[in-house]
Structure 1
Amino acid sequence: MKIGVLSIQGGFQKHLDILKKINISSVKVIYKEQLRNCSGLIIPGGESTTISKLLVKYNLSESIKEFASEKPVLGTCAGLILMSKNSNDKRVENLNLISIEVQRNGWGRQVESFSQTLKIENTEKNIEAVFIRAPKILRLGENVNVLARFENEPVFIKEGIHYAACFHPELTNDTTIHKIFTESIAA
């Protein structure tokens, strides 16, 4: 198994570090050809409008959509925004990989960042989640499963083979989210 991590902007290095920590082979994805040998893809947090522009610049949007039609994608924070069907910012070209509508910075601006312990639903697992200018999910499609909530709002979801989190799991020492994603690929 080899996981690609979109590495054009944002917190990609932390995701690469977590994958190394759990002994999963990974590769930085900057060009569409680098997706070829990947079993899954992580779209990291960062600045969603910037990542969106760079996806167009590097001709990656269509390649990611094609990849995601057969292989799983995990998006965190800005990655969730990009994976959504719709966001509240016309500057973001959504990939429409998950049937959700989101609001950028819905959990507050930079100065309102926070960390929170969350329970993964239907498990005994708790995780530490870091919310930095985190998006808020406004609407869920009928096939979207909620895996974790904060203040009764969905913050970690799954639809089909794809996962998305409003928060930054890579900024903690907790490997749970990455394990859930990679174990779903290995299954």
Structure 2
Amino acid sequence: MNGSAVAAPAAQDSASESAQPTIGVLALQGDVREHVAALERCGARPVLVRRVEELAAVEGLVLPGGESTAISKLLEVFDLLEPLRARLRDGLPAFGSCAGMILLADEVLDTRPDAKHLSGIDMTVRRNAFGRQVDSFETDLDFAGLDDGPVRAVFIRAPWVERVGDGVEVLARVPSGPAAGKIVAVRQRNILATSFHPEVTGDLRVHRLFVDLVRAA
């Protein structure tokens, strides 16, 4: 994908919604294609964001999973760090999965001292909290506000949330096991973040929730 826009398919899963918001996917590193495909199926118009002018044109932004410290460095290389912080302060709807959650946190534990983050959500996140790549796992989560049963969640070198501020809504926690009770999905105003990767399972409910947040903004 070398253009800045991705054409929407002829048929969309959310055809009942007429509005087609333009939603950027930060395309510096990580699982960009999967988010683009999910947004298309939810009736949005995905746009790849690598430049400031592309960021300025979107109504919402997805920060994909990948490697959070690498993405933070690339934000500086592409001169996107401060413009993105400014747009978040101005109310840009955003959704971060895994590394994207880390980038959206006010405070990050167990990260590199030179790593940057965006401070979009009043929370403290622990990077790689669930362990290394070999510790990746899947589980079913009860996700507040989503109907039709549990969400299948895929965790890959994932963070978890250790603290949330008063204005942050907790949407999901790990149900059982050594990490039982750990927070893995949150929302503050129109910013959404998950520790897991909803873009890889084919379940569109989390993406639909975000697209609806963008439409309502």
TM-score range, shorter chain: over 0.9
Q: Which residue of 2 aligns with 1:4?
A: 24
Note if 1:32 corresponds to 2:56: no
TM-score w.r.t. structure 2 length?
A: 0.83
Detail structure 1 runs of 4+ shifted over 4 Å in the superposition: none
Q: Which residue of 2 aligns with 1:146?
A: 170
Whether the 8 Å CA contact 2:42–2:211 is kept in 1: the answer is no
CA distance in 2, matches of 1:36, 1:17: 22
Offset of 1:70 from its aligned partner? Answer: 2.0
Whether the 8 Å CA contact 2:184–2:195 is kept in 1: the answer is yes
Task: Give the 5 Å matches for 1:37-186.
Answer: 37-68=57-88, 69-88=90-109, 89=111, 90-124=113-147, 125-150=149-174, 151-186=180-215
Offset of 1:22 from its aligned partner? Answer: 1.9
| Runs of 5+ consecutive residues of structure 2 not aligned to the other structure | 1-20, 175-179
Offset of 1:122 from its aligned partner? Answer: 4.7
Identity between Structure 1 and Structure 2 (%): 38
* Distance change (3 Å), C-alpha of 1:24 and 1:122: closer
Aligned residue pair count: 187
Higher strand share: 1
TM-score w.r.t. structure 1 length?
A: 0.96
Offset of 1:91 from its aligned partner? Answer: 3.0
> Aligned-pair RMSD on alpha carbons?
1.1
CA distance in 2, matches of 1:20, 1:77: 21
Larger radius of gyration: 2
Whether the 8 Å CA contact 2:146–2:205 is kept in 1: the answer is no
| Runs of 5+ consecutive residues of structure 1 not aligned to the other structure | none
